[in-house]
Structure formats: C-alpha cells, structure tokens
Amino acid sequence: MTQMATSAPVTPAAAVPVSPAPLNRPRRGRRSVGMSVLLHGTLIVASLIAIGPIAWVVLSSFKPGYAVQSTEITLVKDPTLANYEYVLFETSFPTWFLNSVIVAALTMLIGIFCSATTGYALSRFNFPGRRPLMMVFLVTQMFPVAILIVPIYTIMATLGLINTLPALVIAYLTIAVPFCAWMLKGYFDSIPTSLDEAASLDGCGPFRTFYRVILPLARPAIAVTGFYTFLTAWGEVAYASAFMQTDDKFTLAYGLQQFVPQFNAQWEYLTAAAVLVTIPAGIVFLFAQKHLVSGLTAGGTKG
Amino acid sequence: MRRITKGIAALASVTLAFSIAACGGDKKEESTEAAKVDPASLSAELTWWDTSDAKNEGPAFKELISKFNQTYPNVKINYQSVPFGDAQNKFKTAAAAKTGAPDILRAEVAWVPEFASLGYLYALDGSELLADEADYLEAPLASNKFDGKTYGVPQVTDSLALLYNKELVEKAGVTVPKTWAELKTAAQTIKSKTGTDGLYVNAAGYFTLPFMYGEGGDVVDTASKKITVNSEQNVAGLKIAKDLIDSGASVKPSATDSYGTMMTLFKEKKVAFIINGPWEVNNIKTAPAFGGVENLGIAPVPAGSAKAAAPIGGHNYVIWSGVPQEKAPAAVEFVKFLNSAESQALLAEKLGLLPTRKSAYEVDAVKNNAVVSAFKPVAEAAASRPWIPEGGQFFGPLDQMATEVLIQNKDPKASLDAVAEKYKAEVVPAYSAS
Amino acid sequence: MTTVTADPAPSGAGLLPKLRRSWDKHWSAWAMVVPVVLVMAVLIFYPLINGVWISFTDQTEANQLAEICTKSITGGEVCKENPNAWSFVGFDNYVNILTGKIGEFWLWAGNTLVWTIAGVTFHYGLGLGLAVMLHRQIRFRGLYRVLLVLPWAVPAFISAFAWKFLFNERLGLVNSLLNAVGIDSVAWFSERWSALLVAILTNIWLGVPFMMVALLGGLQSIPEELYESAEIDGASAWQRFRAITLPGLRPVSMTVILLGTIWTFNMFPIIFLVTEGQPAGQTEILVTGAFRAAFEGIRNYSLASTYGVLILSILLIFSVFYRRVLRKQGEVW
C-alpha cells in the first residue's frame, strides 16, 4: 500500500512543509502480544457481527424458496444454484446491472468533480456567499426525499428526462454532492495553505493549483467520498422507482423489486440478487481502500 | 385447451354465451369477425403495466399478448411488469405530471375509484368493453363504477375463505366449521388431539373484516355517509376474533410478518386452519411439506350471528386518460381481448385466477378446475366494499386497531372508536360519526 | 444590474464597481460552485420553497386542480368544476399536527429523538473505534476493512428484511437461541421499546461502516510524525488519542456527526420495513409517520409539506445550535 501511495503524481511544489518520510518507515512502538490479541479479537467479533446477517442472505440464496422462511432453522437446506440461474438468465438482470454501473460510475465521476471543486472553493476562498452556501447544502439534506419525489418528477418530465439514466444521475448528485463537498472541505482545510501559496508563486492559477497540487494530496478523502457516491447511486430505490419506467432502464436496486409481488416476496431470488449486487460494491471498496493511506506524507515523499 | 384458445381472437368480440357454445373449432371465426373491423388495419403501440407476479403470472400474460398479436399484428404491446408495491404511487405521479403513465394498467380494485375521481382514467361507457356488461359478476364490476360511470373492467376477483389442512382435520375427526363458534371448538379439538395448533388469525385490518361482516357490520355506510366502523356489530365481531386468540384456539399472531408466519406455519402443517385468499393456492400447492392441492380444503369463511361474508378483492384493467384518442380503439381491442371469457378461462386454468365473467365459469377447463370451483361460491358471496376514492385509506387505521386488539389486548370498543375518529379527521371528513 | 449602469458611482462605493471588484477577486471560487448551485436550486430549492407555500394550503391530490375532466373512450370530455377546490388555510395544518388532531406528532417526534440520538452515538462511537484500529498497521487489515464495510454494500431493504427475520417472533433465530438457553421467546414487535430497539440495532449495524470509512479517511490527514514525537515525549496511547487523534479528526467528525444526524433523522427504510411502525404505529418516526399519513391513498400534499417543513425546522434549529457549540470551541463554518 505504501508503494501505491508513492506513485502519486509529482507535485510541482518545491516547499512541502511535511517532513519526508522514508519508504518503509518503522512502526512506532511495538505492540505487546496481549494488545495484539485484543485488537484482533475485537476486529474478529466486529467482523462476525457485520457479516452475520449477510451470511443469512448468502445461505438463503442457495435455498429453494420454501426453505428460506421455515419453522426449522437450517444453515443449508436442499442447496441449489437455481436461484442464481433464474436471476442471471431469466430476468433482465444483466441490463439492470449495466444501467447501475453506468449510473453509479457517472454519479461518482461527476460527483467527485463537483464536490471537489466546490469543497476547494469553500475551503480556500472567502468569497461572498460561502457561509450561506454551506448552510444551503445542509438544508438540501433536511427535507425528506419522499416529499420531494412528486415535484422532482414534474421537473424531470418538463426537462424530458423521465425514463432516462441522466435523470437518476442528476437526482443522486443532489444527494451526494452536499455531503461530499462538506467532507472534502474539511479535508482540504487540513492541507496547509502554504502549498497553494508555493504553487501560486510558481505561476499556477487557482485551477492548476487545485488539480496539480491539492487534489493528489486529498486522495484518501476522494476515495471515501467516491465510494460514498458510488454506493448512493448503486443502492438507491425511491428515485429509481419513480423515474424509471421500462425494464431496459431499471437499475439493480429497483429491478430487484420485481421479485416482490403483492403477496409472498420471492426471497430466494432477492437474496441471490443481493449477493450479486454486493460483490461489485465490495470490489469497488477494495480499490477505494487502497487509497486510504496518508495522502500528506505520501505527497511529501516526492517533495 | 388448445381447441379453445385457437379461436380466442375471433371469439373475443362475439357474444359470449353464444361463443362458448360454438367453441368447437369450427371455421366461422374469420367471417363473423372481419365484418366489423379489419384487425390488421389497427396500428398502435401500447404500454401495459402489469402488476401481477412477474415470475409466476407474467408468462401467462405474455402468452395472451402473443395470441393477441396473431390477430392484431400491427398493435405492438410493450409489456412492463411493475412491482405491485409501488405501482399505485408510480402511476399517480406519472399521471399527475401527464407524462410517462402507461396506456393500460392492471389496477387493484380500490385504486379505480381513486384514480377515476382524479380524472386519470377513461370512462368506458358506450365502448365495446361494456357491451356485454351483463356477463360480468356484479360485485367485481361494482369496483369500477364511480359517480355513475364505469372506468374499468374486472380482470380477476378474489375473497377470503377458510383454508384448511384436510389431513389434520380428518385426524382430529372434526367437521369443517360453518360458524366462528364451530371454528373455535374445531381448532381446540385439533390442538388437543393432534398437538398441532388449530388456527392462525392474521392480525391485519383486512383480515378482521370477515368477523365484522359476520355480525352485520361494515366500516362506513356510503349511502347515508356515515362512519360505522365503531358499531356494536363490529365490536361484537372483534370480540369473537379476540376470543379465538385468548382461548388458545388460535396461535397468538405476531406484530410484524404475521401474514408470512401464518403461511409458513400452514405450509409446514403446523397449523390446521387459516383464513386467506385464492392467491395463496399456488404457493401452498408447491410447498413440499404440505402434501399438494389434494390436502388443501377450501370452505367459505365461517359465519357470525348475522351472516358469513368476506371482503371482495381483485384487479381491474383501466385505460389512462392521457392516451391520445386515436390510440383508444387499439387499447379497447386489447383490453377486450385480455378480458374475454377465453382469456379469463386460460388464466383460471394456468394461474387459478377467479374469472369475473359468468360465461367463463361455463368453460369446461374452469368448471373442472377444483380450486376455481371451490372458490366460486366464496367469490359469489363476497361482500362489496365501499367503492369511494378514499377506500384505500381505510386499512391503515384498521391495521393499527387489529394489532391493538389482537396482540396488545386492548378493548375492541376503545380501539374502534379511535379508528372512527381517525376516519373523521383524516379519511372522510364529510361523513358523520355514528 | 442594468439599472446601475446609468450612474457612474459618484460615491466610489457604487454597486457596480463593488460587484466588479468582487467578481475579479472571487470569480474562480464562484465558477467552482456554480454548477452545483444551479442543479440544487432547480431540483431541491424550487420544490422546497413550493412545499413551504403548499403547507399553508389544504392541497391534496384531489383538490389541487380547479376542474376535473373525465374523458370518455368513445370521444368527448366532460369537465366539472372541482366541488372542493383547495384554498389557503394559514396555519391550520401546523395547528392540526402539533395539537395531535391529525397524526401523532409528539409520539413520532419522541421516537425520532431516541432513534437519532442512539443511532448517531453508536455509529460514531463504534465507527471511531473501528477506524482507529483499522488505521494501525496490522495483519489482515484489508480483509477486516472489506468485511466491516459489507453491511453498507448490501441493498438496505434486503438487510432490513434479514434483521426483521432474525427477530421474527415465531421463526426467528434470536428467539430460538433464547429458547435454547431456556429463556422464553420475546415478542419483539409487540412492545414499543423492544420494537424500537430492534430497529435501532439494525440501523447501527447499517450505519457503522459509513462512519468507519469516513473517519478512516480523516485519520489519514493526521501526520504520523505527530504521533512519533508524542511517543518520544512519553505520551500514553490514551493521551495520544485525546491530544492528537480527536483534534485531528475534528473537521471530519464535525461533518459526519452533523450530516449523520440529519440522515438518521430522516432515515426512512429501516422503520418502514423492519418494524412497519408496529406495534400499532408506536414505533413510527416522523418521516415514516408523515409518509403513511400523506401518501397512502389520495395523496395529501399539504399535510406532507407541513411535516416536511416541521422536520426541516427541527433540523435547522439543531444545526444552528450545533454550529454555536462548535464556534465556542473555535471552529467556524
């Protein structure tokens, strides 16, 4: 992971205030054995709690429908792959999957871009409207989404966006960007302004400074907000259910609702689909978490 | 089967009683039909939101569409399965914005008066869809009427019945109960003789209606605009339900997933009697532990002191008022086809859906279908519900009441009074309290 | 703007030059925020302000149109004037809701309060603990991180069901474990507080990964060197945590607690799916109660908006208060 970090783009800044750290710098203080046991013990228990209910989902996905809810509690009962087969080959799952990937990827890219620029402006420039803007971002999160859906539908209809993926991307951005901008603002605040000043002395404009100097240093926060944005788009149901109308435009989270008829939700398919939905999200996190390394020192090493 | 469906397209528009009799694979189909409209000349693209079970029921509807297209090759049907749970809100949001609603919708019975009152549906009076109105069973058709006009045609009807496990009933040597009192003793006998629980009363508003109807009660009186939910009769009915639980005849229901628990127990032979509708038959049939449809007994709901009655349910076909007038003929033809006696017979045979047409019950395949014929008297005796736009809102407060009375042991009268107050304040303010 | 052009700003502090100076100085900042502001204005603020207006009327789906038209399939359209068209009602909706004439505002508000405080406290506490542990260089760190983040990645309505199922009275795992050790089954959803407890547990489980990841991101901005020098100075682990970690996490913590509170307050699916408001509506929180009151059957837009405005007001008061507390501690935003 440390190697990954050092491959960060070279910053033009000459004066990086953070002291350079050697590549495999020694860990401070050695942990005692007892401490290690405690640490791993806690993490193992926490992991078990985290995956417990998920294990139920996974186990159910291999059961036939009648065995998912039963008076006998069993781990495995008549194991079958039929649920996965049905979900993958007899529904529009692949289409939904593709739509979700498109929507989540676009939301993530545009979301990070918008919130990074906004967060930077909020952090570095004391422009008129700055404080109100931050408050305004909060207010957008305060009004319950359920109440906003009907008016937003009307707006989307006016814009001709009903049953199109951009409608979802835009709607998800309104959820994700305010949080991400706040988050990134906080992170940018912790990056010394002397870096900006140095870059500006080197002749970089505000935009160049931002992209070449600050952004690379903010990788951990970008990773966090990126993952957050991705998941927001990946799992959202309410907007998708209102705006998407044909099978070829459904996203995964909404498509799954087709396994919930008026009576008797088809839990065998829901759980199988849930597993298939969770895996890509886990993979995305695997990539994101690689960037959860100290951006400041990593950038500093090249200084 | 094949013989019947072959002639479907042609028969759809012929007078039904006659067509069934004539349905012997004879050749007069083209000649009678072509005289009216040339099916190939109709050309349109229609969207249909189907709210049925996408996996188990969807294929049968798709089959109907392909049959329709054999006669009407130029009417393209975009079949869209929409999850039942959000179809109502989804349709209303789209219809209110005048964009994106489907041409045709399969609407739950309570939705139709509501949508109609909002101007979201076409009135179908005077169209071919209602030309044979008399063929429809009266009660299911009634849910389509609002303010003197008819806004849909009934696709399927249903009602609650007493479902029982034949094996357990025989083992305990009890007869199928005809009254709530008999049900109580039967359930207690089963419990003492077989050790298995006798009954599961689902603690939900809709499922308490048979108890209230049984004593002659109802939630509102639409004719005199009165809220009658806290009447003596309803209190008496709920006391019966509560007594079933308190006396141990029924399992104590749980507050969440009461329905699912009931079905799981029934399917695994852990309870002998439940009250539920025809929609569960397939589910019970396929449960490996239950013993197939042979083991499933179906009887009308037990009677109270006044009568035996259960609420009517079902689904209707409606046409969105935003459909351009030039597409209307195609939409009418399509709905007419979907709801012909033959189509209904096909759905009854394949899915066990109860037809809404009298003539459909005359078709051999329907007549010989054990489940459908067992449910036929149930459906015929079903009590009509108040078909007013607010009809769907009655159940939220009733659900709360059911939990309070059947689970939290509250006084039925007090709970029903609270429901009446809520109806007055939030649901039907124009009605008078009793 | 054009109105000022005629006057060449005699006092030297005219609007235009002032604006121009401001523009020259701040154009880049504005350019950075403008796309976001535009989208927000159209999609959120317009409906929101409209919502505030609607809360002073009695608009519902049924009375919002001046006339209702019935189209006949055979052609023709009959339009009738809406017999009870909507009207301005002033504060009636607010009075009805706050006095309990409609809905159960105070019960729901009480639930919301318990729900939010419990949720955010545990989210933050557990998230912080796990983040600190996962920040250290330990074996299997990547694996732990992925496992612990999974609850966030499963579609929420599926995990809500999983939890509801675990606590199912008759068929659930929890009760059968209790039975196995000789304790009677608990009817979890038959009592207000036990039902709420299950919902809160579900929400904690769902929300900890987010806090953990956010704080993990925040921990990266604390220079390692600070810890090293503190250690040389002989600071204990707890002292280092108090003196370096917590202050270093300040900006991130401030944000996630503030937004976490707002989100939890308005968290819809868990209550809606896990307790379904059971028993008898006693575990409804404000958003779910408002949804059921206003969106089942004929949609009551004015009632929904009134609830929306009330929720918004509570959260606004909270954030102003929050900001004041932070400012006392020297933090400004």
pLDDT of B37 reads 61
- Are the C-beta atoms of residues A107 and A233 closer than 8 Å to each other? yes
Assess whether B166 and B304 both reside in one domain: yes
Structure-block tokens of residue B26? 């004879």
Whether B118 and C62 lie within 8 Å, measured CB to CB: yes
Assess whether C157 and C45 both reside in one domain: no
In which band, very low, low, confident or very high, does the pLDDT at B247 lie, cut at 50, 70 and 90?
very high
Assess whether C148 and C250 both reside in one domain: yes
Whether C29 and A221 lie within 8 Å, measured CB to CB: no
Task: Write out residues 77-116 of C within 8 Å (CB-CB) of A.
Answer: none
Domain total in chain B: 2
Distance from CA of C217 to the nearest CA of A (A): 5
Instruction: Give dist(CA B107, CA B115) in Å, integer.
Output: 9
Whether C195 and B404 lie within 8 Å, measured CB to CB: no
Structure-block tokens of residue B356? 């809404």
- Are the C-beta atoms of residues A134 and A182 closer than 8 Å to each other? yes
* Set of chain C residues whose Cβ sits within 8 Å of the Cβ of A276: none
Which of A182, A188, A186 has the alpha carbon at shortest distance from A134?
A: A182
Assess whether C155 and C19 both reside in one domain: no
C-alpha distances (whole Å) from B308 to each of A194, B214, B237 are: 84, 5, 12
User: Residue C199 maps to which CATH number?
Assistant: 1.10.3720.10
Indicate the DSSP class of residue B349: H
pLDDT of B35 reads 45
What are the φ and ψ backbone dihedral angles of B176, each rounded to 5 degrees? -70, 120
pLDDT of A111 reads 93
Map residue C202 onto helix, strand or coil. helix
Assess whether B140 and B194 both reside in one domain: no
pLDDT of C331 reads 59
* Sequence-separated (6 or more) residues with CB below 8 Å from residue A39: A31, C133, C136, C138
Amino acid at C41: A
B415 domain-assigned: yes
User: What are the average pLDDT values for consecutive 10-residue runs of chain A, which has 303 residues?
Assistant: 35 38 46 85 93 90 86 84 92 93 94 90 84 86 86 88 92 90 86 82 81 84 90 90 90 89 86 92 87 55 32
Whether A86 and B55 lie within 8 Å, measured CB to CB: yes
In which band, very low, low, confident or very high, does the pLDDT at C114 lie, cut at 50, 70 and 90?
very high
pLDDT of A296 reads 52
Instruction: Give dist(CA A151, CA B97) in Å, integer.
Output: 9
Instruction: Give dist(CA A300, CA B12) in Å, integer.
Output: 80
B75 domain-assigned: yes
User: Residue A140 maps to which CATH number?
Assistant: 1.10.3720.10
Q: Give percent above pLDDT 90 in chain B.
A: 61
Map residue C332 onto helix, strand or coil. coil
Q: C202 vs A216, which has greater pLDDT? A: C202
pLDDT in tens, C242-267: 888 888 888 888 889 998 999 999 88
- Is C164 an interface residue toward B (CB < 8 Å)? yes
In which band, very low, low, confident or very high, does the pLDDT at C4 lie, cut at 50, 70 and 90?
very low
Map residue B369 onto helix, strand or coil. coil
A213 domain-assigned: yes
- Is C101 an interface residue toward B (CB < 8 Å)? yes
- Residues B362-400 as b/e (b if ≥16 CB within 10 A, e otherwise) read bbebbeebebbebbbebbebbbbbbbbbbbbbbbbbbbb
Assess whether C148 and C43 both reside in one domain: no
User: Residue B113 maps to which CATH number?
Assistant: 3.40.190.10
Assess whether C137 and C195 both reside in one domain: yes
B65 domain-assigned: yes
Structure-block tokens of residue C26? 């701040």
Structure-block tokens of residue B273? 């009697």
In which band, very low, low, confident or very high, does the pLDDT at C280 lie, cut at 50, 70 and 90?
confident
Assess whether C174 and C252 both reside in one domain: yes
B84 domain-assigned: yes
Whether A140 and C45 lie within 8 Å, measured CB to CB: yes
B155 domain-assigned: no
Whether B288 and A66 lie within 8 Å, measured CB to CB: yes
- DSSP notation for B34-77: HTT--GGG--EEEEEEE-S-TTTTHHHHHHHHHHHHHH-TTEEE
* Sequence-separated (6 or more) residues with CB below 8 Å from residue A8: A216, A219, A295, A298, A299, A302
Assess whether B58 and B123 both reside in one domain: yes
Whether B256 and C298 lie within 8 Å, measured CB to CB: no
A72 domain-assigned: no
Assess whether C289 and C153 both reside in one domain: yes
Which of C222, C214, C312 has the alpha carbon at shortest distance from C256?
A: C214
C97 domain-assigned: no
List strand residue ranges (DSSP E) for B82-133, in order.
104-108, 122-123
Task: Write out residues 387-406 of B within 8 Å (CB-CB) of C.
Answer: 389-393, 396, 400-401, 403-404
* Set of chain A residues whose Cβ sits within 8 Å of the Cβ of C97: none
> What are residue B122's DSSP bridge partners?
C71
Least confident of B312-321, C28-37, C248-257, C280-289: C28-37
C-alpha distances (whole Å) from B98 to each of B111, B318, C48, C66, C79 are: 18, 16, 22, 16, 17
Domain total in chain A: 1
Among candidates B116, B390, B425 on the partner chain, residue whose Cβ is nearest the Cβ of C297: B390
User: Which residue in chain C has the smallest CA separation from B118?
Assistant: C62
Structural domain boundaries, residue A235: 2-29+81-301
Distance from CA of B2 to the nearest CA of C (A): 33
C-alpha distances (whole Å) from A287 to each of A173, A212, A284, C149 are: 22, 22, 5, 13
* Sequence-separated (6 or more) residues with CB below 8 Å from residue A95: A247, A248, A250
Tell me how crowded residue A74 is: count the other CB atoms within 10 A of its CB.
10
- Are the C-beta atoms of residues B312 and B220 closer than 8 Å to each other? no
- Residues A150-163 as b/e (b if ≥16 CB within 10 A, e otherwise) read bbbbbbbbeeebbb
Distance from CA of C213 to the nearest CA of A (A): 7
Whether A153 and B270 lie within 8 Å, measured CB to CB: no
Among residues C18, C36, C54, the one where a domain terminates is C54
pLDDT of C61 reads 85
Whether A71 and B279 lie within 8 Å, measured CB to CB: no
Which of B104, B6, B2, B11 has the alpha carbon at shortest distance from B359?
A: B11
Structural domain boundaries, residue C228: 103-328
Mean per-residue pLDDT of chain B: 87
Q: Which residue has the tokens 């009931």?
A: B262
pLDDT in tens, C143-163: 898 899 999 988 888 888 889
Distance from CA of A178 to the nearest CA of B (A): 27
Beta-carbon pairs below 8 A across chains A and B:
81
- DSSP notation for C284-307: --HHHHHHHHHHSSS--HHHHHHH
> What are residue B162's DSSP bridge partners?
B275, B299
Q: Which residue has the tokens 């013990």?
A: A41
* Sequence-separated (6 or more) residues with CB below 8 Å from residue C106: C100
Containing H/E element for B314?
strand B312-319
A76 domain-assigned: no
Which of B142, B186, B431 has the alpha carbon at shortest distance from B311?
A: B142
- DSSP notation for A205-262: -HHHIIIIIIHHHTHHHHHHHHHHHHHHHHH--HHHHHH--SGGG--HHHHGGGG--S
Q: Give percent above pLDDT 90 in chain C.
A: 26
A43 domain-assigned: no
pLDDT in tens, C69-84: 888 888 888 888 877 7
- Mutation for testing the A interface, residue in B56, B86, B108, B320 having most A CBs under 10 Å: B86
B267 domain-assigned: yes
Map residue B315 onto helix, strand or coil. strand
Amino acid at B138: E
Which chains does chain B touch, 3 or more C-beta pairs < 8 A?
A, C
Among candidates A91, A149, A261 on the partner chain, residue whose Cβ is nearest the Cβ of B53: A261
Indicate the DSSP class of residue C12: S
C-alpha distances (whole Å) from C3 to each of A128, B364, C14 are: 22, 84, 12
Sheet holding B220-221, edge to edge: B220-221, B226-227, B432-433
C92 domain-assigned: no
Q: Which residue has the tokens 């329709």?
A: B68
Distance from CA of B92 to the nearest CA of C (A): 9
pLDDT in tens, B260-311: 899 999 999 999 999 999 999 888 988 888 988 899 999 999 999 999 999 9
Assess whether B132 and B255 both reside in one domain: no
- Pairing of β B149-150 and β B75-81: unpaired
Indicate the DSSP class of residue A291: T
Task: Write out residues 121-180 of C within 8 Å (CB-CB) of A.
Answer: 126, 129-130, 133-134, 136-140, 142, 144-159, 161-163, 165-166, 170-171, 173, 176
Structural domain boundaries, residue B130: 2-150+313-380
Is the model's pLDDT at B147 over the cut of 60?
Answer: yes
Tell me how crowded residue A26 is: count the other CB atoms within 10 A of its CB.
8
Tell me how crowded residue C75 is: count the other CB atoms within 10 A of its CB.
9
Among candidates A42, A57, A138 on the partner chain, residue whose Cβ is nearest the Cβ of C262: A138
Assess whether B53 and B199 both reside in one domain: no
Domain total in chain C: 2
Instruction: Give dist(CA C261, CA C267) in Å, integer.
Output: 10
User: Which residue in chain C has the smallest CA separation from A223?
Assistant: C217
Assess whether B209 and B62 both reside in one domain: no
Q: B210 vs B20, which has greater pLDDT? A: B210
> What are residue C68's DSSP bridge partners?
C80
A139 domain-assigned: yes
Mean per-residue pLDDT of chain C: 85
> What are residue B136's DSSP bridge partners?
B357
In which band, very low, low, confident or very high, does the pLDDT at B78 lie, cut at 50, 70 and 90?
very high
A148 domain-assigned: yes
Structure-block tokens of residue B294? 């042979």
Indicate the DSSP class of residue B136: B
Tell me how crowded residue B351 is: count the other CB atoms within 10 A of its CB.
19
- Are the C-beta atoms of residues B407 and B202 closer than 8 Å to each other? no
